[in-house]
Chains A and B, each alone.
Chain A
Amino acid sequence: MHLDDKELLDLFRNSSTKESAFTAIINKFQERLYWHIRKMVISHDDTNDMLQNVFIKVWKGLDNFREDSQLYTWLYRIATNECLTFLEQKKRKVTVSFENDENGLSNTIKADKNFDANKLEWKLQLAIQTLPERQRLVFNLRYYDAMPYGKMSKILETSEGALKASYHHAAKKIEQYILNG
């Protein structure tokens, strides 16, 4: 059984139990954060690097966590910012090197050893990659993680109304992509 956030934070703030609390935090949240990042960047290796960065940031910043929000909201926010920064850097790199890599993430999906173009699950993944990054985040958080708009609003710092509209548009676009594809 995992400890609750309050217990974890208390243990983390105690220097003698800091490392064990940190390990417990990793064990509690690693899978959720991994899949949150993986759905955005697709590649396992990139996800692994980013997950490491996220937890290093958590280690450095958790002492200053003010508990205004839930721990997992704070962690999702760090992971989300990591994703957006990574994707932005990747996009810039492609632009500067004049590489033709517009469909980079789609190509990564197609390169997956389990990829099956006939399966709707994979088509859905390809369709999701056609969305703008923030819309993709909204869709993933709502569709896969069943996250309430209130929590999402704290992570993405966007109003609930805008998130609802974004999710609605994303679902429509995905449907169009799958039906026309």
Chain B
Amino acid sequence: MKHNKEILQELTEATLLSKDIKLPYEVTTDYFDNLPPILVKNISNGKTNSIGNIGFADYSVPDGYFEGLSNVILASAANKVIGEELNTTALIFNAISKEVPYQAPEGYFEKLQVVIPDLNSKVPTKVTSISSFRYWAQIGVAASLVGVMILCTTIFSNKETKSPTTYLSYKSVDIKGDLDKVSDAELVKYLNNDNVTANPDLIILDDGELPNVVEQKIQTVSDDDLKQYLRQASVSKNLKKGI
């Protein structure tokens, strides 16, 4: 409380209220003396709507000021929003002027002329620049190189890609039907001459892959012949083993 009293005392001593108050503004000499007759004159002339009509000053605004005012206000509001947007994103933009540092040549916009094309012209003019020819030539060379690379790849990888095709075509062959078309004489001749079928030990087949022709041939052999064959086979095996 004591402290507050001291502050109040200080303010009372220092306050301007105890001295003459003088504002920094000034009016012209005799302003107030001349004001009433001027006002009366203006009222009698019907000029009652603005202080500008009193006659102390002629105010004016630039041409088109009011027409463009809304755009100026909108642009300023947009700039404010954009400024605030960047304040939350990147503070560095506060330190950078928004002016583009590039310059257009002097008088460029006054002199700019656009050559209007003649749309009625029936002969189109084709301009082929050297740079575009060079561009397409380079494209052509690059395309040829790519083509050669693809061709080489196809040729050298051909063996690998061929086998599944062969296997599939093999699976789709109707062996039984095809063999029926072959005469017995041709079949016997083939079986006797063919290296693989003539040496059954060389045939390596999984279960179920045994060609029907072998089964058919076995069925035609009598039991006695089979027993004799097996006996001979076992004898020859024993001989090979040295038994």
Contact = CB atoms under 8 A, between A and B. Distances in A.
Nearest to B63: A1
Interface residues on A, range: 35 or more
| Residue from B79, B101, B138, B142 with most neighbouring chain A CB atoms (10 Å) | B101
Contacts of B91: 175
A22 B109 contact: no
Contacts of A66: none
A1 B67 contact: yes
B82 A146 contact: yes
Contact of B138 (A56, A96, A179): A96
B92 A125 contact: no
B105 interface: yes
Interface stretch (A34-42, A67-75, A79-87, A153-161): A34-42
Interface string A91-112: 0010011000000000000001
Given A34-B104, A114-B101, A144-B100, 14 more contacts: A22-B114, A35-B100, A38-B100, A38-B102, A52-B114, A59-B117, A112-B101, A121-B101, A125-B102, A143-B86, A174-B92, A175-B91, A178-B92, A179-B92
Interface of B: 64, 67, 75, 78-79, 82, 85-86, 89-93, 95-105, 108-109, 112, 114-117, 119, 131, 135, 138-139, 142
Closest 6 CB pairs of A and B: A175-B90, A146-B78, A55-B114, A171-B90, A121-B101, A171-B89
